[in-house]
């Protein structure tokens, strides 16, 4: 884990708050009607400040599933405000973009409580209760929990 973080450019104390605030401004300004604007909140800005801009070039077997490369850059979800708003309504929480997996095959998102999710063609996946847990899940290839609707759990 430490080697992957170091290779991606992370170090203890990393805090790129100016970049995070620029992304927050860009996301908040994107979109026309207010109902499809991006949500920006402290948990997202803090995740962007610590991990934003990091790229993890991963492949091969993980502990439970294959590892894929991922990028932590909220601009990857710039054109997905409606998708993120839909997930937010389902979670009863605001959701902001966090990055992408596998060169755009999945969108990474974070909610107000700091929980991290991945959205792909097969559904929505829970990666962890925090950005730290989510990065560990992705780097180590740990199991991801698929989000289900109430109808799917009955």
Residues 146 and 123 sit within 8 Å (Cβ to Cβ): yes
Nearest to 47 by CA among 72, 76, 83: 72
**Per-residue model confidence as pLDDT tens digits over 31-60:** 766 668 899 999 999 999 999 999 999 999
Nearest to 50 by CA among 3, 95, 96, 9: 9
Cβ atoms within 10 Å, residue 11: 8
Predicted local confidence at residue 149, as pLDDT: 72
* Res. 152 pLDDT band, cuts 50 70 90: low
58 lies in some domain: yes
18 lies in some domain: no
Q: By residue range, what is the domain housing residue 125? A: 2-7+39-153
In this predicted structure, the answer to whether residue 154 has a pLDDT above a threshold of 80 is: no
Predicted local confidence at residue 31, as pLDDT: 72
61 lies in some domain: yes
Which pairs count as long-range contacts for 41-45, CB under 8 Å and 24+ apart, including other chains? 41/94, 41/96, 41/112, 43/110, 43/111, 43/112, 43/113, 43/114, 44/74, 44/96, 44/98, 44/110, 45/17, 45/20, 45/21
Predicted local confidence at residue 153, as pLDDT: 55
**Per-residue model confidence as pLDDT tens digits over 62-71:** 999 999 999 9
- Domain count of the chain? 1
144 lies in some domain: yes
* Tokens (6 digits) for 132: 């730290």
Cβ atoms within 10 Å, residue 87: 20
134 lies in some domain: yes
**Per-residue model confidence as pLDDT tens digits over 87-138:** 999 999 999 999 999 999 999 999 999 999 999 999 999 999 999 999 999 9
């Amino acid at each position: 884990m430490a080697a992957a973080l170091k290779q991606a450019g992370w170090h203890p104390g990393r805090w790129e708050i100016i970049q995070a605030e620029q992304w927050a401004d860009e996301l908040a300004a994107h979109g026309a009607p207010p109902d499809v604007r991006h949500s920006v909140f402290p948990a997202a800005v803090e995740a962007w400040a610590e991990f934003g801009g990091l790229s993890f070039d991963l492949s091969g077997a993980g502990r439970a599933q294959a590892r894929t490369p991922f990028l932590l850059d909220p601009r990857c979800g710039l054109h997905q405000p409606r998708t993120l708003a839909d997930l937010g309504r389902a979670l009863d929480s605001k959701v902001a973009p966090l990055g992408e997996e596998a060169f755009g095959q999945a969108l990474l998102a974070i909610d107000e409580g700091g929980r991290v999710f991945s959205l792909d063609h097969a559904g929505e996946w829970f990666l962890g209760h925090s950005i730290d847990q989510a990065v560990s899940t992705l780097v180590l290839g740990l199991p991801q929990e698929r989000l289900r609707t109430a109808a799917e759990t009955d």
